[in-house]
A and B are shown apart, each in its own frame.
Chain A
Amino acid sequence: MRLVLSELSGYDPDRFAGLISALLLLNYFSWLVVPATPLALVCLVAVGLAVATHVTGEIGRRRWLMPLAVVGGLLLLFFEPPTDWDARSIWFFQAKRMYFDGSIDARLDDYPGWSHTAYPSLVSALSASVVRLFGIWNEFLPKIALVLTLVPPFVVLLKRCDTTVARLLMLGSILCLTRTQLLIGSMDAHLAVYAVSAIVLLREAFALPDRNAGAGPLVPALLLISCMANIKNEGTAMAVLLLAPLAFWLIVRRRPATVAQLAGIGTLAALPAVIWKFKLTSAKILALFIGDPWERAILRLDDGSWVTILGSLLDATIEPLAVWVVLSQFMPRKLERFPLYFVIGYLGVLFLVYLATPYDLAWHMFMSVGRVTQVVKLLVAVLLVLELQQFVGRMGNSKARTA
């Protein structure tokens, strides 16, 4: 037993997160391309075994937070069936259709019109696999996918915490900021956690000085980014925002062999999103672009609605941004350009989306601004925890030297 545990302790958590992300993507791919085969079930079983192995390894290392988060999360899921509108009408309904229809293609009939057929289904596909494994549909089993899909980002973020205090603070701040969002079945918090963990990995990779270093944290980062693009449509925009500097950095800083390896992995990881977009285009289902988005955008620029959009976006993000700007002045790394670029870019994308929305602007913003800007709060919290850890570590070291 000790031998097994010591073997497990050799695992690199980033690679483990990458593995789970790859399995999630493969599960979604199998629902998209070969739904009649048992590939989706194989992926689900592999995800379950990998998570169980990781949890056992963490217990072996006497780290209790991840096991508690997984087991506690699974127990919490069964307290109440999903009642959130997004969860019922979009995400679990997608899973229900995939389970009963036996494929994802049946959804392209756009039934019923309000369930946002165009949205991608990474988490719903895993829910459908869980239900297929048990052979019955109820309101609880599909929720298991909510916890399993959270494992990769949590593993990445907790790996960066060196002390129990930092791990507690990291987990505490994520759970406190997302509250019930992670377990009710709305995908915004999931997407936010994925985005933050991908940013943390990229930030670390960008800081690597050695041009000849291998792919390092870039492979798990690419896989997490690909997962993001398949969780929600905003995830696609976030993925583009993260991939653009990554591509530039790779071309400038890395050896061609590493670039080719990453390009291969990135292409494979992008397949599910590309296939789904292709299916939607073939079925003439386009979410945001109903009517003429340009005309709506120009109209809203003209009638001053853009001020309302800007005001709402700033209102939702000004507090975390202010906290970040002020506290980062006391931290080892000052206000970092890469996360700041992401925040500004993402807010810009949201601004354009609201400008062109086919829905009533006031209603759309009221329903979504708080949820889609969650990523900014989470990003600030996670970066501050990581910086605080370094800050306290340096203080401790300097005190030790003085003593």
Chain B
Amino acid sequence: MMKNLFPWRGASRLAGTSIAIMTAAALMIVSFLASNVSLASKVSRHYYLTRIFQANAGEAEALPPMVHQGIVLVRAHHLQSVDISQRLWDQVEIRQRFAEGMYPIRLERNSRFVLVGSDEGSASRCRVLGEQPLVRLVEC
């Protein structure tokens, strides 16, 4: 075993040092694995085995809940573009996650379909098309 690890002759005196280096390297790999696996705290075996090949899998975990709920609403109505309320637009992360999360549905400022926060009011001329706990889809 030791001959395979240390190909030179008379290596036994170096074995201690090398084992220490190997242990350090192994610890570094373990530290890498720990930092990556710790990301998986919410994942169950069922999730892992069954959802990898499902469309849009992982979206609910990756996006803010409001954005995910908004995307679900927009997809259900087969829209091509949608706007978001000014209050949502002003929240940079929400705006950016809407734009990339719901693609190929586009975020367009002049769309007549608008996503508004569930605690926001909307103009009386707007009609509610769908609702989720955090967000509403209205047509104006």
B31 touching A79, Cβ below 8 Å: no
Task: Check if A172 sits within 8 Å of B9, measured CB to CB.
Answer: no
Contact mask for chain B residues 15-39; partner A; CB cutoff 8 A; 1 contact, 0 none: 0011001101111110111011101
Q: Are B32 and A168 in contact (CB under 8 A)?
A: no
Instruction: Sample 19 A-B pairs with CB under 8 A, ordered by A number.
Output: A72-B33, A76-B36, A79-B48, A80-B40, A88-B62, A89-B96, A92-B100, A100-B104, A112-B99, A138-B57, A141-B52, A163-B6, A165-B25, A392-B14, A395-B14, A396-B6, A396-B11, A400-B9, A400-B11
A398 to B31, CA, bound (A): 35
Q: Size range of the interface on B? A: 35 or more
Residue of B nearest to A403 (CB): B10
Q: Which of chain A's residues 325-382 have a Cβ closer than 8 Å to chain B? A: none
A173 CA / B22 CA spacing, docked (Å): 11
**Bound complex: CA of A165 vs CA of B97, how far in Å?**
44
Question: Which stretch, A174-182, A245-253, A273-281, touches the partner chain B?
Answer: A174-182
Q: What chain B residues lie within 8 Å of A139 (beta carbons)? A: 56-59, 61-62
Report the bound CA distance from A165 to B31 in whole Å: 17
Residue contact A400 to B62, C-beta cutoff 8 Å? no
- What CA separation (Å) do A83 and B107 show in the bound complex? 20
A interface residue numbers (CB < 8 A to B):
72, 76, 78-83, 88-89, 92-93, 96-97, 100-101, 111-112, 114-115, 134, 136-141, 162-165, 168-169, 171-173, 175-176, 178-180, 183, 388, 392-393, 395-397, 399-400, 402-403
Taken together as a complex, chains A and B put the C-alpha atoms of A92 and B103 apart, in Å, by 11
Contact between chains at B37 and A76 (CB < 8 Å): yes
A97 closest partner in B (C-beta): B103
Q: In the assembled complex, which residues on chain B have CB atoms less than 8 Å from the CB atom of A172? A: 24-29, 32
Within 8 A of A (CB), among B56-74: 56-59, 61-62
B43 touches A138 (CB 8 A): no
- Nearest A residue to B103, CB-CB: A96
Given contacts A93-B103, A172-B26, contact A138 B54 (CB under 8 A): yes
B13 within 8 A of A: yes
Q: Is the CB of B6 within 8 A of A79?
A: no
| 9 additional A-B residue pairs with CB within 8 Å, beyond A76-B33, A100-B104, A134-B53 | A76-B37, A112-B99, A140-B57, A164-B5, A165-B25, A171-B25, A172-B24, A179-B32, A400-B9
Q: Are B36 and A79 interface neighbours, CB within 8 A?
A: yes
